Every structure is written in C-alpha cells, then in structure tokens.
Amino acid sequence: MVRTPAVYYDKLSAILRICLDLYNKYGVVSLDKLIDEANIGERMLREYLKDLVALNILIYVGGGQYLVNQDRVESLIRLLGGEPKIVDFIDPSLVRGMKTSREITVRITRIFEKLGIKDVLDIRIKERVRGEPQKPLPQSVLGDKLILSGVCRKVILDDIRISGSASTYVVRDYSLNIHGEPFAFLTIAYVGASAFVGYYRNNMLVVDESVVRSIPRFEVYEGRSPFIEEEPFYELVTEYPELLGIGRKLAARLISELIHYKLDIEILEEFGDDIDLYIRYHSLLPHGYIISARRLMELQNKVYGAFEKFLEIARKKNVVVAGLSIKSHDNLFVKLLNNHYGLKLMNVNDDNVLLFLLNDGDTTAVVNRPVERGRVRIDNWYEFYMKIGDEILKLEYISYGKPIEEYAKIRDLVYSSYVVRPAQSVIYGPGPVVMAYDRAQFHANEIERLVRSILDGTFRSFMRAMRRGRR
C-alpha cells in the first residue's frame, strides 16, 4: 500500500507518542511492548523506528530496545510547554548533523521524501526562491523578493535601551489526602511575568543601569489577606468534564498574558520615553480561541483590552514594539511558497522550511498579516523571519505608518543584541528577552514553592484543629 505523506506523518507521530509513554513507564522502549501497543507489523514498525533514530529522537541500544534522547526531547518540552510534534525535531541540531555525515544526510533525505518536504533540500529550488520571482508577489508582501539576502547589520549599541518581557504559567492538580484517602482536589495555576530593560553602552550591556521587574509581587499581610484588585478564583462549568483540563490551561494562559500586558504597560509608562525597542516574547497578541464559556470570554476580553492599552501607550511614546517567537508553528510562508512557486510542501511549518532556505543574516520579506479567525482585527500587523547563526526567529510588529523603516530597526537591533543561547536557558534571542524569560520562569517556580508550602502547612493546621474538635 502506498503511504501518502499525511498518513506517514500521522503514523510516525502516533508511534512517537507510544514510545514516550513506554519510556516514561519502563525507562526503555522495547520492540515487544511496542508491537502490542502500536498494532502494526514488526517489519513496518522497525522502519518507523529507524526514522525516529535518524531524527535523533530515539537511541538504539541493541536487543530490540531503544532509549529516548532525553536531552533533546525534554528541552523541546520545556520550550514548547507540551509534547513536541515530529516537525519540532526538524531543527538546527538536525541540520548540523546533516552537515557532518553523508550517511545522515541520505537518511534524513529519505524521511523528508516520505514527509513530502524533500523540495527544501533541493539547491535549485533554494536558488529559485532566493532569486527574482518570475511573477509578481501577492500584495500582502512588501517588496519584490521573498528572501532578502545578507541584509542584517551589526550596529553599535551605544546609549541604547532594549526592553524584553516574557510570561509563563504552569497548571498543577493537587489531592489533599486524609489517611491516604482524597479529602479535596485543587487545581492551581502559577503565573509569572518579568521584564528586563537592558541598557547598552559601547556595545556592552550595563547591568547596573538596567532594570528588572517581576509580577506578581510578594507582599506580606497580617490577618485576612485582601484580594482587592481582582477576583483570583475562576469557576469553570461545563457539561463535558473532560474539557475542564483544557479550560483550566486556557484560563491559565489568558491570566498569564493579562499580567504580562500589565507589566508591559507599567514598564512603558515609567521608562517608555527612553526605550528604543520593546520586545515581547511570543506573539504580540495571543492566537485567537473560539470559546463560549462566560469566564473565559471575560478573561479574553480583558486580554484584548490590556493589549489595546499597551499599544496606545507605545504609540504615544513612539516606542516600536515587536513580538518574538521561536519554534513557530505558523505556515504563512509555506503557503506563499506553495501558491507562488507551485511547491507541494505539507506537514511542515515556516520554521522548518526557512532553516534550509535562509542563511545567517537573511530575512524574509515583510508580510502584512491577514486577519486570523478568533482574533480581533488589527490593522498594519506585519511579520518577517530572520536567521541568526543556525536559529530562526519570527518577529511581528504593528506599524505606525513606516513598515519598512520599522522592520529595519527591529531587524538590526535584534541581530546586534542577540546572544548565544545560555546553557541553562531553553530560548534564544536578544539578551534582554532571554533574561526576562529566565527570570519569569524562576519567579513562577518561587511562587509555586511558596504556595505549596503554605498549602501544606495550612492543611496540616486544619487537620490538627479537626482532631482537637473531636476531642
């Protein structure tokens, strides 16, 4: 039976999920257990496993047993905040591996052929895409070329302030037990946001003259803790209990975005007159969700309101604001390639394709972003990709009327302030963004540690009081 790229991708993805589950249970992936779980013949299964080994996801140790490449998988889980997809493993480390060995290149080429993306490895197609187009590009593309070669400039950062901000969240489920039996269940979302206003002098980041802010802030109260600013509890009601987990995660993400905007607004109001570029980690505005739950709709509307206030202050202070994404799952550029050059790329995103089409210092053309379903309409929304070293970054921004000038400013300041990924960090990009992200992660972890200790201590006190009451 001939397997289409879609069938191959779905089956490879399913086998990857089973491998991760087996590894989490047993610490090893054995062929025998995999055959039982995957419901597929041994010969075909071995072929899929060879491909997962070639993608450096699995490590074959002999005797029909495999290990998961934990460093590779766990770093992606931390970066993405969830289980990685097959396309997430088409990354710079894979490209570097292909450059070191012809054997690896041949194996990866075969996998790309099965996935329907072999065209990205064809040098003739790369030259064609990087050259002058044979027909006019769509009106949404600014300029007459899809790829701009070597346009990024290293500028001297002197008396320059670049601000980065980031937020994070994690949802935890707890069971409070009495004598081993559940007494109560709790779901708590831990959120945190941080901003780093980096000051550069003579091409050096001056930490002493930079500013770090994190929220929520720790405050001490005596007696009853006043929840004055906003109601911190959100009750989700649904006729489908299996949707509660999704609703809680969505609510947590919306709350984290809301506090992220509040911090952005605070920073712009206090330091905006001196900031040359403000970069938010992730999209400027979260992707739209089609939701009907009242509480979630209220939260989403608050997020939109905070976004509009953030933009209003940025315009007032003439600060260019950009959203930076890495590991983007968008496919806007892939659609352009397919429609304009007659390619048939599928099962991939822009990030995967541009790894092979861009060189260090290249960017794509600026594209006017179309309206997205479920997201409020935003005029003058532009985006482009750039490559720094081996990494692909996606930048989006709201133009104040000069999209090409703003693109050039974002491009050069990001390129000049980019730092090699720190060993302890899972993200890469301009120094202020990396520092803000790492600080947000640390802050959320501290909140979780503090709340867990308070929860544990309070529940123990409650149990002691209950016992005294019985006596």
Q: What pLDDT digit, counting tens, does each position of 69-91 carry?
A: 998 898 888 788 778 899 999 98
Please indicate, yes or no, if residue 202 is contained in any of the structural domains: yes
Residues 236 and 299 in one domain: yes
Please indicate, yes or no, if residue 341 is contained in any of the structural domains: no
Residue 296 pLDDT: 75
Residue 184 pLDDT: 74
Residues 34 and 94 in one domain: yes
- Residue 24 in tokens: 């989490």
Residues 258 and 171 in one domain: yes
Q: CB–CB of 204/459 below 8 Å?
A: no
Residues 84 and 200 in one domain: no
Q: How far apart are CA 202 and CA 204, in angstroms?
A: 5
Give the H/E segment covering residue 396: strand 391-398
Q: What pLDDT digit, counting tens, does each position of 115-155 carry?
A: 888 888 888 888 888 888 778 888 899 998 999 999 999 99
Residue 81 pLDDT: 74
Please indicate, yes or no, if residue 178 is contained in any of the structural domains: yes
Domain of residue 434 covers 160-326+358-446
CATH number for the domain including 282?
3.30.420
Please indicate, yes or no, if residue 294 is contained in any of the structural domains: yes
Helices and strands in the chain: count of H runs, count of E runs:
13, 15
Residues 164 and 101 in one domain: no
Q: CB–CB of 328/383 below 8 Å?
A: no
- Is the confidence at residue 37, as pLDDT, over 90? no
Please indicate, yes or no, if residue 140 is contained in any of the structural domains: no
Residue 232 pLDDT: 47
Q: How far apart are CA 425 and CA 444, in angstroms?
A: 15
- Residue 188 in tokens: 């708590």
pTM above 0.75, yes or no: yes
